[in-house]
Amino acid sequence: MRARVPTRHATQGPDLVPASVANLPADGSQGGAARQRRDDALFVLIVGAGRVGSAVAKRALSAGYEVSVLDEDPLSHERLEEGDGQTWEELGGHFTVGTALEVDALIEAGVQRADVFIASTDGDNTNLTVAQIAQRRFGVQNVVCRVMDPARAAWYQEQGLSTISPTRHAIEMFAQAIGLE
């Protein structure tokens, strides 16, 4: 069964990341289904090609999204190709080497046409800054930002920026594991 690929014209509802991306297996496979990208597929720009950014990028590409990744480390490109036997570009992905805080790098990576923008570097300040640039300057409607500091994540969430705090999630999971919730 092939995953449904939302189009740029479809509404995404309350979910931050479309279910077709969020529910894919961690290895990026689709249970044997062929990878298919439509001309009207959502364009996802991911800043940061670490463990999180590269995993989300591979899953989104496997789901049929058009995916561009921006990272300042040219070697981070290798994470996108692990185990596939093909280059990221051969699989249909885009990769830009550059600093996300530089507007020219964001433009080269495709921020002006992004339907979804994910800030997933290892720095809260960078993520918060580039997420706000994508949202406010370039008008990207679906912007999601990884913020390690739970208090900052909550504050920015109140200001209208969608945030994910891995630290907050870990605290909640540990508390639940020892019976505090």
Residue 94 has pLDDT above 80, yes or no: yes
pTM: 0.79
Going 121 to 114 to 66 to 167, the CA torsion angle's sign is: positive
pLDDT in tens, 73-87: 999 989 998 776 889
The pLDDT of residue 14: 32
Q: Residues 92, 147, 45, CA angle at the centre, nearest 5°?
A: 20
DSSP label at residue 42: P
Pick from 84, 106, 102: nearest CA to 93: 84
pLDDT category of residue 38 using cuts at 50, 70 and 90 = low
Q: Would you say domain 19-146 falls under CATH 3.40.50.720?
A: yes
pLDDT in tens, 155-178: 999 999 999 999 999 999 999 999
